[in-house]
Structure 1
Amino acid sequence: MTARLITFSTGGETRYGLWRPEGITDLSAVFGERWSTLKEVIEAGTLTEIVETAPDRIDFQESEIEFLIPVTNPEKIICVGVNFPDRNEEYKDGQTAPKNPSLFIRFPRSFVGHKQALRRPPESPQLDYEGEIVVVIGKAGRRIPEDKALEHIAALSLCNEGTIRDWVRHAKFNVTQGKNFDGTGSIGPWLVPFVSEEQIRDAKLITRVNGETRQHDRTGRMIFSFRKIISYISTFTTLVPGDVIVTGTPTGAGARLEPPVWLKPGDVVEVEATGLGRLENSIADEE
């Protein structure tokens, strides 16, 4: 089975480990003195090492832990907007797809882990879902050529890039506000080490709400490839190990339904992709 590395909380401590169907192996207990977080493991280039040398034992059951976002303290979380052909057409502005990706920044605090509730804020009921694939950078680089871009990937994950829709229209040019309410998105459940381009060449990406498929597309149809995204971003900023890139969502978000359908307390959203598992979150009102 593909290795699945998680960051989790238990007993008031943040730890990292290897997820298996039968339970979790606590890798912090083995490697914690050398690398205290998964980000440090990524920086050291030792994701494969900790998987290959992990002890064959179960330290925790899933019921004993709380999933956190896999990289809890990335230097950057950069998100790509409008990266599938049908998404571009949803804007109905008559414009063809742009030559370069639209980008925005999110803060770690705006995300929760697998099986944690996304929080609908009191300022707006317009909480929406966006299922996406996540790339985690493993090797630093600036002005990375496209033909070398995949060499800079350490791991892959999933994201529900939850958005407060009316708050992305609060100003003329930016979407920052609507994308950064605390706890409105999720990343996880785990990191899958990146091995080859086959993992992302034409992966199927699906989002379900209460079991109903709302988004369904393949990465082979992305307007901007993973190579292009990494190369383009690294033109203006140095990518460093642990940086998170959220690569874009297909058509089918709640805002585009007629009439729009927003997430409400009690709903369950699942994001699934080939080889990456399934990210699941319920919805609750922010206390």
Structure 2
Amino acid sequence: MKLLSFTAGNHESFGVEHARGIADLGARTSFSSMRALIAAPEGLQAARRVATEAPVDFARNEIRYRIPVPDADKIICIGVNYPDRNAEYKDGSETPKYPSMFLRTRGSFTGHGEPLMLPPESPQFDYEGEIVVVIGKAGRRIASENALSHIFGVSICNEGSVRDWMRHAKFNVTQGKNFEKSGSIGPWVVPVGDAGELKELRLSAFVNDELRQDDVAGRMLFPLDYLISYISAFTALLPGDIIVTGTPTGSGARFDPPRYLVDGDVVRVSVSGIGTLENRVLREAV
């Protein structure tokens, strides 16, 4: 099942996408948003009932995709979470003991099919294909053995980055990770029970149909259960929270010379069992 948030004209809602189109869960259930549906014990059952019984409210060409949980309380991003990524830095460092992480604003992401905004402040706009997990059950200090039960579903991210702005400060990358509409999440979230074995999820990222990144979730340095346990030690995880789990080797900055994105490039990120997230790069007008 594919759960999405969307706009249709002036109408903002959330729904379920199937072969015939989109059924509007906002109109056909009592939930006010995707986040509210995720938080409700009966939310997934209600969505499945609508997916089975309801007629189509919108054709795909009548909607624009938003990020799946537009009002997520937190978007937490993990850095350097694949072994080859650590080696890419060529600094002789050992495998890290703890995950690197940072927060992104909701406004730094856009939905599937929407333009990624190429900022005029930098020529170093880069892509990073990543697997996303969406939290379904709140928790603090979650034990690793219970962590996977807190996942609601899986989505896809292009965690777009402005490389030189990531180096403006000594101890953070926040600036380069939060340009408006520089990344994307979507097109939808697939409930964890429909996504297959999480360790076997394969991520592939393409730029203009050229394969740039390819890896599987089972190779993460910090697996999903560890990440959820570690993060929940310092902050309470809430339904709808988004964890962007890190990118494999192959981003544009790691080529020699670097291959950064330019106006008109198309970035496509696919995850097995989930789908494909696609966005075109558009130079931002100022």
Q: The TM-score by the shorter chain falls in which range?
A: over 0.9
Q: How does 1:8-19 map to 2 (within 5 A)?
A: 8-19=6-17
Separation in 2 of the partners of 1:211 and 1:35? 39
Matched, 1:38 2:18: no
Q: Is the 8 A contact 1:25 1:58 kept in 2?
A: yes
Separation in 2 of the partners of 1:193 and 1:146? 20
Q: Is the 8 A contact 1:45 1:138 kept in 2?
A: no
Q: How does 1:160-171 map to 2 (within 5 A)?
A: 160-171=158-169
Separation in 2 of the partners of 1:76 and 1:123? 26
Residues 226 and 197 of structure 1: CA distance in aligned 2, closer, same or farther (over 3 Å): farther
Separation in 1 of the partners of 2:80 and 2:48? 38
**Cα deviation, residue 274, structure 1:** 1.0
Other-structure match for 1:173: 171
90, 93, 117: which one pairs with 1:92?
90
Q: What letter is aligned with 1:214? A: R
Separation in 1 of the partners of 2:58 and 2:276? 20
Q: How does 1:136-175 map to 2 (within 5 A)?
A: 136-175=134-173
Q: How does 1:1-287 map to 2 (within 5 A)?
A: 3-31=1-29, 34-54=30-50, 55-195=53-193, 198-287=196-285
Separation in 2 of the partners of 1:197 and 1:119? 30
* Secondary structure in 1 matching 2:84: helix
Separation in 1 of the partners of 2:128 and 2:174? 15
Deviation track 1:193-227 (CA, whole Å, cap 9, x = no partner) reads 11288431121110000000000011111100000
Q: What letter is aligned with 2:13? A: R
Separation in 2 of the partners of 1:85 and 1:134? 18
* Secondary structure in 1 matching 2:211: strand
| Identical-residue share of aligned pairs (%) | 53
Residues 269 and 278 of structure 1: CA distance in aligned 2, closer, same or farther (over 3 Å): same
Number of aligned residue pairs? 283
Greater mean alpha carbon deviation, residues 192-201 or residues 117-126: 192-201
Q: What letter is aligned with 2:38? A: I
Gaps in structure 1 of 5+ consecutive residues? none
Deviation track 1:81-128 (CA, whole Å, cap 9, x = no partner) reads 000000000011111111111010000000000000100111112110
**Cα deviation, residue 20, structure 1:** 1.4
Separation in 2 of the partners of 1:135 and 1:111? 15
**Cα deviation, residue 51, structure 1:** 2.7
**Cα deviation, residue 286, structure 1:** 1.2
Separation in 1 of the partners of 2:96 and 2:282? 36
* Secondary structure in 2 matching 1:57: coil
Residues 104 and 17 of structure 1: CA distance in aligned 2, closer, same or farther (over 3 Å): same
Q: Is the 8 A contact 2:38 2:44 kept in 1?
A: no
Q: What letter is aligned with 1:239? A: L
Deviation track 1:134-170 (CA, whole Å, cap 9, x = no partner) reads 1111111111010000010111100000000000000
Q: Is the 8 A contact 1:80 1:101 kept in 2?
A: yes
Show structure 1 runs of 4+ deviating over 6 A.
none
Normalising by structure 1, what TM-score?
Answer: 0.96
CA RMSD across the alignment: 1.2
